Amino acid sequence: MRAVRMDVHGGPEVLTVREVPEPVCGPGEVLVRTVASSLNPVDWKTRAWEETGPALPATLGWDLAGIVVASRAPGFAPGDRVLAMSAQIATGLGT
């Protein structure tokens, strides 16, 4: 799986696309196969401003559209189509 990662704050040149481990569905969570994702203004601010954002390294991306592949949360089942926003600042795990 590939993700846009950053190890340091700075300009666009600090972003890299890297292979990252497959995520695991934890208690109360859903695992979503991302069909579409974006980097929005919060992402570029997180990248540029040292006093903002998650611990580094971090995966950017807040917004996604996808399909649930595993669920440990009530109300979601594999096959459900979802729009979502990650908890990127709290977890460092983006889309």
Q: Which domain holds residue 70?
A: 2-91
Q: What pTM was estimated for this model as a whole?
A: 0.79
Domain count, the chain: 1
DSSP 13: G
User: What are the strands of the beta sheet with 81-85, ordered from one edge?
Assistant: 30-38, 63-71, 81-85
- Tokens found for residue 48: 């540029």
Indicate which CATH number applies to the domain containing 60.
Answer: 3.90.180.10
Q: What is the pLDDT along the chain (95 residues), one digit of tens a residue?
A: 888 889 999 999 999 998 988 889 999 999 999 999 988 888 888 888 877 677 888 888 889 999 999 999 999 999 999 999 888 777 878 88
Summarised one tens digit per residue, pLDDT across range 35-59 is 999 888 888 888 888 776 778 888 8
